Structure 1
Amino acid sequence: MHGMPMRKVNSALVGLLLAGVAATPANAQTVREQQWHLDAMRADDIWKASTGEGVTVAVIDTGVARIPELEGQVLPGKDFAPEAIAGDERSDYKNHGTAMASIIAANGKGPGGVDSAFGLAPGAKILPLRVDLHGNGISRNTTLIDAIRYAADSNAKILNVSMGSWPDSPDLSNAVKEALAKGKLIFASSGNDGNDDTFYPAATPGVVGVAAVDRDGAATKESQHNAAVDMSAPGTDIVTACSGGTGLCTGHGTSDATALTSASAALLWSAHPTWTNNQILRVLLNTAGKPVDGVERNDYIGYGVVRPRVALPTPGDPGPADVYPLPDLAAAAAAAGTAASGAPVPSTGGKITAPPPPRAGAAVDKGDGGGGLSWIALGLGACVLIGGAVAAVVVRRARS
C-alpha cells in the first residue's frame, strides 16, 4: 500500500549535467515503491531473465562515490580530471556520476543493509571514469576523449555519457569510431533545453542519442528534439541512490534516461554474451515502443522507448554482426568521402518531421485502458525492423 506521495525537490541544472538531482526525504513508501520507472519497465520480471551480470558499464561522468548501494559494484577506474578538482574517480564533485551509476547498477541495500534503491541492471559492474566539467572547452573535450579511448581499451562493453555541451571535434569522432571498432556501445544524453539544438557527444555519428519520456510515454518538455535522438527512456521523478544528504535523490532529464538505456543494453548483453555491439543495439531498436502515429522515428523519441522486457523474451533476429544499425555513421563517412573528392556535399539537415506537441513524443498505444505504463512493458504496436541500414539517412551536426 502506498503512503503519502513522494515530495519532489527540484534543483537547477548545473553546468553540463543533463539531469536535475535533488535530495529525497523519507516517507511512508518504501524506496522501491517510489521507483516507478522500475515498475513501468517490469524490472521484477526482467530480473528473472537477466540482471546484467557479466557486463561492465563505463560511467564517464563526475566520479562515483563510495555508497552502500554500490558496494561490490564498482571496479577500479581512472581519473581524467585535472588536479584542481580534488579527489579521484571515487569522488563525485557534482553528485551526478554516483546517481547515474546507481540508476544502472545499485544493489538495493542502503546503510546497515536497509532497503534502498535498485538499479535496472543490479548484476552489472561500473567502471568509473571521471572527467572535467570545468575550464575551457578544449580541456573538457580532452578529458572526454581520453576517457572514451580508455574505455575502448577496457573490458567495459557499454559507455554511458550522461552529459552534453561538449565541443564537436575530429578527435571526438575518431575516439567514438575507435570504441565502436573495439565492440563498444556508446549512449549519451540528448540535452535538456527543450529545443532542437544538438548536443555532443549525443550528436556524434556512432553515439546513440537518448531523449527522456514521462509516465505517459510522451517526450518531456525539457528533452531535446532533433535528428540526434535515436532512442528514449523514462526521465522524470527518477528515485535513485546518491552521495550526500539522505542518500537518496530524485532526478529528471536525459541523463537519467541515458543511464536506463545503458542498463537495458547491459541486461540484453548479459543474456546474449556472444552478440556484437551492432546486434545488441539493433534488437533494442527493433523492440522499442514506436511513435503512436506509426512513423519509423521522430525527433522527440527517436526510434522509440527502450523496452528490455520485450527485448529479452522476444529479441527476434539480431541481424548482421558487423553492420552498425543506425544510418548516421555510414552517411557521415559518405559525406566525408564526397567532400574529399571535391564533389558537392549533400545536405545533412534531413530531420524527420515529428507530430505536433504535446503528444509529439508519445510511444505506442498503452493498451491498458489508460492507466499504468504497459507501453514500456508489453510488445504492443508494430515494430519496424531495422536491418543493416535505415532508409531515411540522417547525418548529425550542430545547427549553424
Structure 2
Amino acid sequence: MPAHAESVRQRQWHLTSMHAEEIWQRSTGKGITVALVDTGVKEVPELAGRLVGEVDFPGAGTASRKDGGTAAAAVIAGNGKGPGGQASAYGLAPGAKVMPLNISDGYRRNGSVADQEKAVNAGLVPALRHAADSDARIISVSVSVPVYEESAEVREAVAYAMAKGKLIFAGVGDTFLEEGLVETPVRLPGVVGVAAVDRNGTWIKGTGVGPQVDLAAPGADIISACAGGTGLCRSKGTAIASAVAAASAALVWSAHPDWTRNQVLQVLLNTVAGPVGGEVRSDYIGYGAVRPRRALNTPGDPGPPNVFPLEDYAEPTPSPTPTPKPSAPAAAPSAVTDVASGPGGDGHSPGFWIALGVCAAGLLAMAVGTPLLIADHRRGRRLA
C-alpha cells in the first residue's frame, strides 16, 4: 500500500488489535444498516456510498458541532478512500450502511440539564421511532443526557424499537463529573450500554460506571475520517465506543442474516474479553470488550431466537388474552475469561449463554451476586 495508507491504517490501533483484515475475509457488514442517532453526518469521501436515508429531527443543526456524527459514521462504515481516491481511514464494517438520524445535543452555554434533556428528547423520540420503522437492524445512540429519570416518551420509543426487533447500543456517558453516573437512555430496558476502553483494554477514567454497563469497546485515540481540518480525527469516549460495538454487531449479522437481534447479541456476549479477575461482569466494562473476529470464527451457541440475553428486558409473549404476570427473567451469562497471551492469541474463550430452565434459587443467587462484581477500573482486556 502507499505510504499514506500505511500511516493512516497503522494508526487505527483498534482495527489492528481486532485483526480487521482477517475479519473482512469473513464479513464486511454488507447488507446491514446502522441507524446512527447523532448531531449530523457530513458526506466526506470516506463515507461515499455508505449513507442512506438521512433525516433531520427537531433540533437538528443546533448542536455545537452539527457534523458530530461524521466520525462515528466513519468508525462504523468508512470505506478507506479519502479525497481523490487516496487511501485513508477505514470503518470496522466497511460494507455496512449508515442511516444518519440527526438531533440536537441540547447543550446551551447557560442552559440547565432539564433544558438539555428537553432539547435532546424532542429529536430522540421521533428518531428512535423512525429507526424502528426503517430497514435498519441496529441503532447506535451517540447523544446522551446526565439525568436519573427518563421521560415516558423516551421509554415508550425505546420499547417500540425493541418490539420491532432492533438491536440498540448507546454510550454510557462521558460526564467526567460523578463516578457511577450513567447517562440516559442506557438505563432503559433492552438498551445495550457500552463503555469505552483504551488500547490496553483499560476502562477510560471519567466515563460511565454502573450496573447498566453491558459491553465495552475501543473508545480512546480512535483515528477515523471526519469533517474538519485534515479530514482525520482522533476521537475519545463512549459515543465512539458505541459505534464500534454497533459495527461489530453489523459484521456478525451480515454473516448470519437469519439470526435475530437476540442471537447476534448473545454471540457478542459469548466472545467478549471479560474482566481479568474472572468475574462474570464489572460495572466498568460490563461483561467485557467486544471481539468481532472471535464472534465470527467461534461464535458459540447463539441461543434461542426469542430470548433476550440480558436480564433487564424480556420478550413480550403474544396473547389474545390479558398478559399474565411475567415469569422470572433468564439468568445472566456465565463468566468469560480471555486466556490469549497477546493480541491475536488463540486461547479459548468459553461462551456464556442464557441457561434455560434455571431454578429460582439460582436466579436469586445471580441477582444477589452480580452487583458485587465490581472490577478494578485499572484493569482491562486485550481485544483480539
Question: TM-score with structure 2 length normalisation?
Answer: 0.80
Query: Which deviations, in whole Å up to 9, do the C-alpha atoms of 1:76-110 show, x marking residues without a partner?
Result: 22100337739xxxxx9444200000000000000
Find the counterpart in structure 2 of residue 9 from structure 1. none
Match of residue 352, structure 2, among 384, 387, 400: 384
1:235-246 alignment, distance < 5 Å: 235-246=219-230
- SS of structure 1 residue aligned to 2:71: helix
Give the SS at the match of 1:211.
strand
Pick the aligned partner of 1:307 from 281, 291, 301.
291
Relative distance call for 1:321 and 1:193 in structure 2 (3 A) is: same
Does residue 325 (structure 1) correspond to residue 309 (structure 2)? The answer is yes
- When residues 243 and 278 of structure 1 are mapped into structure 2, their CA distance, relative to the original with a 3 A threshold, is same
Distance in 2 (alpha carbons) for counterparts of 1:378 and 1:252? 28
State the match for 1:126 in structure 2.
Answer: 98
Runs of 5+ unmatched residues, structure 2: 109-114, 318-324, 326-335, 372-384
Residue 30 of structure 1 aligns to a residue whose secondary structure is helix
Instruction: Supply the distance in 2 between the matched residues of 1:222 and 1:312 (Cα, whole angstroms).
Output: 32
Residue in 2 that maps onto 1:367: 341
Aligned 1:1-400 pairs, distance under 5 A: 30-82=7-59, 85=62, 93-134=65-106, 136=115, 137-165=117-145, 167=147, 168-194=150-176, 195-330=179-314, 364-368=338-342, 373-374=343-344, 378=346, 380-387=348-355, 391=363, 392-393=366-367
For residues 229-287 of structure 1, the C-alpha deviation after alignment (integer angstroms, 9 at most, x for no partner) is 00001111100000021100001111111110000000000000000011111111111
Relative to structure 1, the CA distance from residue 28 to residue 73 in structure 2 (aligned partners, 3 Å threshold; closer, same or farther) is closer
SS in 2 for 1:69: helix
AA aligned to 2:300 is G
Verify the 8 A CA contact 1:319 1:387 in the aligned structure 2: no
**Aligned partner of 1:181: which letter?**
A
Q: Distance in 2 between matches of 1:74 and 1:292?
A: 38
Instruction: Indicate the percent of aligned positions where both proteins have the same amino acid.
Output: 49
**RMSD of aligned C-alpha atoms?**
3.1
CA distance in structure 2 between the partners assigned to 1:304 and 1:365 by the alignment: 13
The 1-side partners of 2:60 and 2:296 are apart by 43
CA shift, 1:382, in A, is 3.7
Counterpart residue identity of residue 159, structure 2: K
For the Cα contact (< 8 Å) 2:194–2:214, is it kept in 1?
yes
Q: Out of 69-78 and 159-168, give the one that drifted further.
A: 159-168
- Structure 1: gaps of 5 or more residues: 4-26, 87-91, 334-340, 342-361
Could you tell me which amino acid in structure 2 is paired with residue 364 of structure 1? D
Give the letter for the 1:160 counterpart: S
1: CA distance, partners of 2:207 / 2:60: 33
Aligned length: 337
* Partner AA of 1:141 in structure 2: N
With the length of structure 1 as denominator, give the TM-score of the two structures.
0.77
Compared with structure 1, are the counterparts of its residues 378 and 243 closer, same or farther at alpha carbon in structure 2 (3 Å cutoff)? Answer: farther
Q: Once the 2 structures are TM-superposed, how far is the Cα of residue 365 of structure 1 from its aligned partner?
A: 4.6
Amino acid paired to 1:279? Q
Deviations 1:21-53 (A, max 9, x none): xxxxxx896110110100001100000000000
Report if the CA contact (8 A) 2:105-2:143 is conserved.
no
